[in-house]
Amino acid sequence: MSDTVAPVVLVTGAGGGLGQALVTAFRSDGWHVAAGYRVLQSSNETGAHYSLQMDVTNKSQIEKAVEGMIAENGRIDCLINNAGLIADSLSWQIEDEDWGRVVDVNLKGAFFCMQAVSMQMIKQRGGHIINIGSFSGRRGTAGQAHYSAAKAGLVGLGESLAREIGSRNVRVNTVLPGLLPTRMTSGLPPEQLQNLVSENALRRINNLDEVARFVVFLSKMQNVSGQVFQLDSRIAKWT
């Protein structure tokens, strides 16, 4: 690839607050941005170079979208597994359907996307997969047993893949973006939100643009793989 050719990134879950910030940040940095949506949206409205219909639980839809990307661009340099879903409930009240949806979107969907891009990245001997995880996967959160389990699994999945394809110069990392002002948090009761804020040493939530800039920076790092980056000020034990 010529140095003058823009690198190509696919951002899943581009319709959410962090997804939109990631699209904007990558485009501002000169990347060719493909944005994946469960419900297709116009590129003119989203700021991406082009949009893809990508329900991450639909493996054939993902494969078709990625194949089209590669056919058009000749490569894919970065995948951001950002699609996510919550359905908070105490563990003994979680319905089977909700457990399945949360795990399918947050874990199985990321796995499908990783599978779809891995062979191309191996073939071109370069690429970066960045999973958007959660602090809930590092330290389980009450009312989020399914979400915490899925996000913990995402860390293990990323580390396993990092070992498998590191020799082909493909990096895999996980980012824990912290508490963000998105639709996921907008519906929280004020008391619960304040409790989450108070767990941060800095007593504040994170910033979408700051997280997006970090992800762009990480995407270009050539010698980092198999790592987990926490971006807020919650402090957890090392073990």
- Residues identified as active-site: 147
CA distance 176 to 193: 18
Could you identify the residue written with the tokens 């998105």?
182
| Buried b / exposed e along 15-35 (16+ C-beta atoms within 10 A) | bbbbbbbbbbbbbebebbbbb
Specify whether the CB–CB gap between 132 and 85 falls below 8 A: no
CA gap 217, 237 in Å, rounded: 26
Q: Is 21 in contact with 82 (CB distance < 8 Å)?
A: no
